[in-house]
Amino acid sequence: MNEFKKLPVLLDGDPGHDDAIAWMLAKASPLLDIRGITSVAGNQTIEKTTYNARRVAALLGIDAPIAMGRPGPLLSDPITAGNIHGQTGLDGPRLPEPAGELSPLGAVELMAKVLRESEEPVTIVSTGPQTNVAALLLAHPELKEKIARISLMGGGIATGNWTPAAEFNILVDPEAAQTVFQCGRPVIMAGLDVTLKALIFPEDFERIRSVGNQVAHVVAEWLEFFYIFHREIGYAGAPLHDPCAVAALIAPQLFESQELNVQVETAGEYCRGATICDNRGYGESIPNARCLTGVDREGFVDLLVEAVRRYDGWEAAV
Ligand code: RIB
Ligand code: CA
């Protein structure tokens, strides 16, 4: 009988409300085996995203090593998003204190260790700027084949959010993003084209809250926080960006996609951080990413509800 093998994953993010929900989805899935967590500077400073990563792991009962990422982007100055995620980077419900020690390794070295020690290639789920992933590729080219794929939230075929041209994760570190898109390993891009369709409304987070366990309550609170902010700036609902990068792995049937050639603009006064997505398919336009373009929103919400339900019987000390 073929023993079902879980997909080994590394989670790299800047929690961040939607990063935290993406990690909830990953931990709840019977298809994934979380081998390590690495924090990256993005939504808040590296110190805050690292503290948040450790608290989210404690809330979810993720028993995997956690390492701190680089203090900022490869070349440019940090950009943070306190206006969206709050001064802590994860404002809202009380969370547990970290459960274990932070790894003595830095993010790149923890990622390299996990890749080196894994029998099979490992999937990297990147839900923040791609700083650590790019640094891993640059520092350890000998491990590139041990990366099965990179499923990232970032970019946009036809739009930006932090600027008209650029999505936040890409804009924070365009050089890192370009390194990742050109690395030659399979890339799934969950860009704004799909995440702006993965909208969450009050009836959705009330469905999650009604599941009734501790994780359901916290996730509903995070969603409500995210919803209120996005309504104030004119969105119809809360765009659930980062969970799309996990859902693409565990429920690919929910998504539509296009194979495109993606280049990242690293210069430009108005377009730095833009993902230039080319569907011509000839000449230099060789596809290097599967770009998600559509999602079954109802099915996506059902996935979140089923995921929080899997935390019945689990309670973290807050
Ligand atoms: O543009 C959305 C992305 O920026 C998400 O990853 C969110 O967490 C922020 O990092
Ligand atoms: Ca994020």
pLDDT number for residue 2 = 52
pLDDT number for residue 3 = 64
Ligand 1 atom at minimum distance from 168 CA: 1
Q: What is the mean pLDDT of residues 16-20?
A: 97
DSSP assignment letter at 31? T
Give the integer Cα–Cα distance in Å for 129 and 150. 13
CA of 169 from ligand 1 middle (Å) equals: 6
Question: In 10 A of CB 9, how many CB atoms?
Answer: 26
Radius of gyration of the chain (CA): 18
Is the pLDDT confidence value at 122 over 80? Answer: yes
Does residue 241 have an active-site annotation?
Answer: yes
**160 phi, psi to nearest 5 deg:** -125, 175
pLDDT number for residue 1 = 47
**237 phi, psi to nearest 5 deg:** -155, -170
CA of 241 from ligand 1 middle (Å) equals: 6
Lowest mean pLDDT among 52-61, 210-219, 274-283: 274-283
pLDDT number for residue 294 = 98
User: Band of the pLDDT at 283, cuts 50, 70, 90?
Assistant: confident
Q: Could you tell me if 78 and 45 are in contact, meaning their C-beta atoms sit under 8 angstroms apart?
A: yes
What residues have CB less than 8 Å from 3, skipping those under 6 apart? none
Candidate of 44, 161, 168, 193 to mutate for ligand 1, largest count of ligand atoms within 8 Å of Cβ: 168
Give the integer Cα–Cα distance in Å for 82 and 44. 6
Q: Could you tell me if 67 and 39 are in contact, meaning their C-beta atoms sit under 8 angstroms apart?
A: yes
CA of 17 from ligand 2 middle (Å) equals: 8
